């Protein structure tokens, strides 16, 4: 509402230009076919970057988490964005998330390590455990963030230094 009031004070052609830009933004928003990060092409810049370590995949809840981890400059692997976490209270089950596509990615055999970087909440832990079980028979390492991220913190609200350190100091996942 404040945005609308603000816009009404502007010149009409400015407002129409803004509306056009917003329309294009909404229509052109796409997600990477590999990791489900925001992308303006089929594959995002991170997945396409040959300098990244494609054998290490960091599993996150949201695109904001990708941005938060990128901001730490401590991580050189690639990502897998789930698009949420398992939350029975909100009616979100595993089938609503990009879990099957993660399992398929892992099944191809090119991944050496999967880092479960979900918020340390009950839902985050449930989701980690679910994914861990799905990956249990595969020949890869499953790790999780060091507990620098305070309990119940949303990952992307954690400060960069703490988040960066918790990725560097990651430890084997234990169910
Ligand atoms: Zn991608």
Q: What is the CATH number of the domain that holds 164?
A: 3.40.1360.10
Centroid of ligand 1 to alpha carbon of 41 (angstroms): 9
The range of the structural domain enclosing residue 78 comes to 50-172
Structural domain count, the chain: 1
**Is there a domain that residue 35 lies in?**
no
Centroid of ligand 1 to alpha carbon of 173 (angstroms): 24
Centroid of ligand 1 to alpha carbon of 128 (angstroms): 21
Helix (H) / strand (E) containing 103: helix 100-107
**Is there a domain that residue 39 lies in?**
no
What's the gap between Cα 65 and its chain centre? 5
Token couple for 25? 């933004």
Centroid of ligand 1 to alpha carbon of 49 (angstroms): 9
Per-residue pLDDT in tens (0 to 9) along the chain, 175 residues: 677 788 788 888 888 888 888 888 788 788 999 999 999 889 999 999 999 999 999 999 999 999 999 999 999 999 999 999 999 999 999 999 999 999 999 999 899 999 999 988 899 999 999 999 999 889 999 999 887 666 556 777 778 888 888 899 899 998 7
Centroid of ligand 1 to alpha carbon of 12 (angstroms): 38
Helix (H) / strand (E) containing 67: helix 63-72
> What does the radius of gyration of the chain's CA atoms come to, in whole angstroms?
18
Centroid of ligand 1 to alpha carbon of 53 (angstroms): 13
**Is there a domain that residue 34 lies in?**
no
**Is there a domain that residue 127 lies in?**
yes
């Amino acid at each position: 509402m404040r945005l609308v009031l603000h816009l009404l004070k502007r010149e009409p052609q400015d407002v129409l230009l803004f509306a056009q830009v917003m329309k294009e933004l909404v229509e052109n928003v796409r997600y990477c076919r590999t990791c489900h990060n925001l992308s303006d092409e089929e594959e995002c810049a991170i997945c396409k970057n040959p300098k990244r370590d494609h054998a290490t995949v960091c599993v996150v809840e949201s695109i904001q988490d990708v941005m938060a981890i990128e901001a730490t400059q401590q991580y050189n692997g690639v990502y897998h964005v789930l698009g949420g976490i398992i939350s029975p209270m909100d009616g979100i089950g595993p089938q609503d998330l990009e879990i099957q596509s993660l399992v398929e990615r892992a099944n191809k055999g090119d991944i050496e390590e999967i880092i479960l970087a979900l918020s340390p909440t009950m839902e985050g832990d449930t989701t980690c455990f679910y994914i861990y079980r799905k990956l249990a028979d595969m020949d890869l390492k499953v790790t999780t963030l060091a507990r620098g991220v305070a309990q119940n913190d949303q990952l992307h609200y954690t400060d960069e230094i703490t988040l960066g350190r918790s990725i560097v100091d990651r430890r084997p996942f234990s169910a």
